[in-house]
Amino acid sequence: MAFLIDTDIIIYSLKGNETVHEWLLQHKNLPKFISVVTYGELIYGAKKSKFPEKNTATANRVAELFPIIEINKGIMDVFGELKARLEASGKRMDDMDLLIAATAIYMNLSLVTNNKSHFSRIPELSLEKLPNL
């Protein structure tokens, strides 16, 4: 099994959350990736922070630790299908979250997130929820 790490989990890790650190240690030998969307969200947070240079360096370090999955045509095909289906059912989601979900589905990765209730609207998305977050 391989994992796509959601932005909230990266932020928990950066803040020293023990549950996230323990999970990462337990899964240290399994592949873990981030979406280019997560990288963008980390850069955005860094640039608007009180310490943009330091936090941008941290975002770049995260990108060195976790390979970044770029958005491609296949991911966008999944994104379009998900967005149309969710809108038709009245369960809209933010486009950035949908891109992360589409990436996980297209790449056959389990999404590690603390936002399970949000992402559970997508039944074909494999979710990894960390306990006690």
Domain edges within the chain: 3-129
The pLDDT score that the predictor gives to residue 130 is 81
- For tokens 């950066």, the residue is 14
pTM for the structure as a whole: 0.94
The pLDDT score that the predictor gives to residue 95 is 96
Residue 26 in 3-state DSSP?
Answer: helix
- Superfamily holding 3-129: 5'-nuclease (3.40.50.1010)
φ, ψ of residue 66 in degrees (nearest 5): -120, 115
The pLDDT score that the predictor gives to residue 116 is 82
E strands, 26-129, where? 32-35, 68-69, 110-113, 127-129
Residues 6+ positions from 34 with CB-CB distance below 8 Å: 4, 5, 10, 62, 63, 66, 67, 68, 69
Tens-place pLDDT, residues 89-117: 999 999 999 999 999 999 999 999 998 88
Tens-place pLDDT, residues 40-73: 999 999 999 999 999 999 999 999 999 999 999 9
Q: Which amino acid is at 29?
A: N
